[in-house]
Amino acid sequence: MLLNALRSCSARCQATSRTALVQITSRTFSSSLSRSFPQIDSLRIAGVLGNTQPTTLSTSRILPYLNHARLHSSSKKSEQVGAASPDAPSSEPLPILPRPSVGGWLLFSSTLVFAVIVVGGVTRLTESGLSITEWRPITGILPPLNHDEWMTEFNKYKATPEFKLMNSAITLEDFKFIFFMEWGHRVLGRLIGLAFVGPLAYLALRKKISRSMTTRMTGLALLIGAQGAMGWYMVKSGLEDSFLETPGAVPRVSQYRLASHLGLAFLLYLGMFGSGMAIIKDWKYANGAAWSGVTGQKISAILQNPVVRRIKIFSWGLAGLVLLTALSGAFVAGLDAGLLYNEFPLMGGRLAPPTAELFDPAYAKSADKSDLWWRNIFENPTTVQFDHRVLATTTYIAAAALYAQTFKPAVRAALPPLTRTAITAAFAMANVQVLLGITTLLYLVPVPLAALHQAGSVMLLSAMVHVLITLRRPGAAARLWRASKAAQKK
C-alpha cells in the first residue's frame, strides 16, 4: 500500500512539474518505510537515502529506493563487478547486511582467541597448567588476595600428584608464578566469553545481524562455554591420584583431552576469523569495491571456471591437512614427544624408526592386541612424533604444490589476483612453520620456540582461510545491496 501511495505520489509530482520537490523529511519517510518493512531499520533506510537529518527529497531520490524495495533475492544470478546491474524485481525488502564494525568485533574476538591459544601453550610449556585444582567459573576470577589465601591454594596444590612426584621442592614464590600463568589463561577465557556474548546479544536484539548469523554466532558462544568445560575436563585428567599408584608415571593431562581442547580453540578461532573477514569483504563489495582484485568481469563466471574450482578444492584439502597436522602436534605436545629423536630429517639415523618401535605391543591393552595400531598412533611418543613429521611434510609439499600451480599460465590467467597473493602468503607461512617446528625439535622444545611454533599453526590456518575467502562468492545480501546501489545511481 505504501509503495503504491508513494509511487502515485511521485508520478503526480513528476506530472505537475519536473522540478517539483516532494517536501517530506527523510526521517518521516524512513520511519514509514520501516513500518512497512520491519526488517529494514529506519537508520539503514536513511543511510540509503543519504543521511538521518530532515532533508528535502526530490522524486529522483525516492524512485530509486522504490526500485530497491522490489529487487529480487536471486542468488543464482551472476553479477557484473563494477557494473550497474540490478537483479530482477521483487517485492522482497533488502536483507540485513552486517556493517564492518560487526566484522571488526569478530576479528577482535578471534585475536583474543589467538592470544588465549598462545597463553595456553606457554602455560603448558612452563608446566603451570595443574596449579589450580578447582573449577570455579564465577568466584575463580579473583586470585588469592592475602597470605592466608595463598597458603590455602598452595596446600591444595601440595595434595596433587604433580607436587608429590615432581615439584616437592617448589617454594611459595614459584607456586605464585605457575598459579598466575594458569589463572591468566582462565581469566582470558572468561573475557573472551564476555567480549563475545555481550555484543552478540546487542546485535541480535537490535537486528543488526540476520537470524541465520545470530544462530551461527550463538553456536560459537556455546562453543566458548564448552571450551571452558573442556579445559577443566583436561586439567582434571592431570590431577588423578592414579599417577601415584603407577610406577614411573609422569603426571600430565591426557593427550586426547589436550588435542580436543586445542581443536575446539581452533574451531572457535576459524569461525570468528572467517566470519569477520567475510563480513568486511561483503561490505566492501556491496559498496562497489572489486572482489578479490577482480573488476569489470563476471565474478561468478570466474569462480565457476574449472581451473579455479580445482584450486579451490585443493585449497580446502590443504586447509584440512593443516588442521590435521596441528592436531597431531597437540599429541606431540601432550606426550612430551618433542623430547625424543631431536634430529631432522632422520630419526635415530634412519628416515623412520623400526616398525617394532612404531607398533610396540607394550602399548596394546586388549588381550587380542586388536588395539595395537591405534594405541601406538595416539599413545606411543615415537609414533606420535613420526606421524607429526609425516603429516607436516605432506602439508609442506601440498602447500608448495599449490604455490607452484599459480605459475602455470592457465591458472595465472584464471585466478583472481588476490588469490594468487594469498596462496603465496600461505606458502611463505608454511616455510616459517616448518622451520619453527624443526628448530623446536632440535633445541629440545624451549618455551619461546615452542610457543612461536604453536602461534605459527594459527597463522598458517589463517592464511588458508584467507585463500578460501578470496575464492568465496560474495554473500547474497552483499550482491543485492550492490545491485540496489547501482540502480540508485542510474
Per CB under 6 A, residues contacting ligand HEM are: 121, 124-125, 262, 322, 325-326, 329-330, 332-333, 338, 344, 388-389, 392, 395, 430, 433-434, 437-438, 440-441, 445, 450, 453-454, 457, 460
Question: Minimum CB separation from ligand HEM for residue 112, in Å?
Answer: 18
Contacts of 235 (CB under 8 A, 6+ apart): 129, 130, 132, 135, 253
Q: Is the separation of the CB atoms in 403 and 346 below 8 Å?
A: no
Which CB sits closer to ligand HEM, 344 or 374?
344
Residue 229: all three cell numbers together: 568445560
Q: Is the dihedral of CA 15, 20, 22, 23 positive or negative?
A: negative
Eight-class DSSP state of 127 = T
Which CB sits closer to ligand HEM, 234 or 445?
445
Question: Minimum CB separation from ligand HEM for residue 320, in Å?
Answer: 12
Question: Minimum CB separation from ligand HEM for residue 441, in Å?
Answer: 4
Closest by CA position to 385, among listed 432, 429, 344, 418: 344
Question: Minimum CB separation from ligand HEM for residue 459, in Å?
Answer: 9
Which CB sits closer to ligand HEM, 106 or 445?
445
Q: Which amino acid is at 310?
A: R
Which CB sits closer to ligand HEM, 385 or 484?
385
- 321 backbone dihedrals φ, ψ, rounded to 5°: -65, -40
CA distance 179 to 168: 15
Which CB sits closer to ligand HEM, 42 or 433?
433
Question: Minimum CB separation from ligand HEM for residue 391, in Å?
Answer: 8
Give alpha helix (H) positions in 26-171: 26-36, 42-49, 59-69, 100-125, 147-158, 161-166
Q: At what angle do helices 255-286 and 372-379 cross, to 10 degrees?
A: 70
Question: Minimum CB separation from ligand HEM for residue 397, in Å?
Answer: 10
Q: Is 376 exposed, middle or buried (0-12, 13-18, 19+ CB in 10 A)?
A: buried
Question: Minimum CB separation from ligand HEM for residue 330, in Å?
Answer: 5
Question: Minimum CB separation from ligand HEM for residue 125, in Å?
Answer: 6
Which CB sits closer to ligand HEM, 268 or 364?
268
Give 294's strand partners. Answer: 291
Give CA angle at 435 (429, 441), nearest 5°: 135
Q: Is the separation of the CB atoms in 312 and 473 below 8 Å?
A: no
Query: C-alpha 439: how far from its chain's center?
Result: 27
CA distance 489 to 48: 11
Return the number of other C-beta atoms located less than 10 Å from residue 329's C-beta: 27
Which CB sits closer to ligand HEM, 126 or 297?
126
Which CB sits closer to ligand HEM, 260 or 405?
260
Question: Minimum CB separation from ligand HEM for residue 223, in Å?
Answer: 19
Give alpha helix (H) positions in 335-416: 355-358, 372-379, 381-405, 409-414
Give 22's strand partners. Answer: 57
Residue 38: all three cell numbers together: 520491519
Which CB sits closer to ligand HEM, 121 or 199?
121
Question: Minimum CB separation from ligand HEM for residue 275, in Å?
Answer: 22
Say which residue the cell 592436531 belongs to: 327
Residue 154: all three cell numbers together: 598452595
Which CB sits closer to ligand HEM, 279 or 333?
333
